[in-house]
Amino acid sequence: QVLDHWQNQLVSVVDQARQQFSPPPKLTVSEWADKYRVLSKEESSMSGLWSTDRVPYLRKIMDAFNDDYIESIIFMKSAQIGATEAGINIIAYTIDQEPCRILYVLPDDDIAKDFSSERLRKALRNCPRLDNKFDDADSKNKVLRFPGGFIRLEGAQSPGKLASWPIPKIIMDEIDKYPRWAGREANPIALAEERAKNWPSKKMLLMSTPT
């Protein structure tokens, strides 16, 4: 009986260790968002758990980030249909499931700072799944770090910063509002593309409402 007791105890300890160190279940971006993304009343009129069924046209755009055969996604859209929320879902998924460097480019530096403090960080804080998974010490900082990577927010008018880091995942938002040239250097989209060219698993999402 004593031996059986210790055997049962050992089995229990091994099971607990196996659960603790087992990798997270493999999900697509949309599946992750449906399971873990929580929208606050501040973010959405439909607060609560995110549902891709409400915006079904975003499913394939988000899940293209899980397709090894797709490198670039171009999303020409109308206004206020959730494209930026799809970008936030991709970031949150990356932090939790596939940590790496991400570059998020907006038309200028002021918009990038506002997006970092007023939208992205607040959205990530609302996801219990991401508790303690990223450094949220300085909400005014345009770099948000997490184990295995970071998200860097930049304006399209900053050529030096667009060209300074090799990065496998790039999201470029409202590209029709970018300057045609970034300073005396190349087009901001071309500069960002250079950052990803040496990564075998690179992903780029370019989205905009046409102007």
How does pLDDT run across 26-77, given as a tens digit for each residue? 899 999 999 999 998 777 767 789 999 999 999 999 999 999 999 999 999 9
How does pLDDT run across 163-201, given as a tens digit for each residue? 777 899 999 999 999 888 766 667 888 888 888 888 888
Mean pLDDT over residues 22-26, rounded?
A: 69
Q: Tell me which H or E stretch contains 144.
A: strand 143-146
Q: Is the dihedral of CA 116, 122, 123, 125 positive or negative?
A: positive
Residue 137 binned pLDDT confidence (cut-offs 50, 70, 90)? low
Residue 192: both structure tokens together? 């960002």
HSE-CB for 197 with a 13 A CA cutoff: 8
pLDDT at 2 over 60: no
Top-confidence residue, 13 or 54: 54
Q: With pLDDT > 70 as the criterion, what percentage of the chain qualifies?
A: 83
Residue 145: both structure tokens together? 């770090």
pLDDT at 142 over 80: yes
Strands (DSSP E) found in 21-70: 38-39, 48-49
| CA separation for the pair 90, 83 (Å, rounded) | 11
- Sequence letter at residue 114: D
Whether residue 154 contacts residue 112, with contact meaning beta carbons closer than 8 Å, is answered with yes
Mean pLDDT over residues 13-19, rounded?
A: 65
Pick from 58, 55, 63: nearest CA to 32: 63
How does pLDDT run across 65-76, given as a tens digit for each residue? 999 999 999 999
Q: Determine which of 3-17, 83-97, 127-141, 155-169 has the lowest per-residue pLDDT on average.
A: 3-17
Q: What is the pTM of this model?
A: 0.84
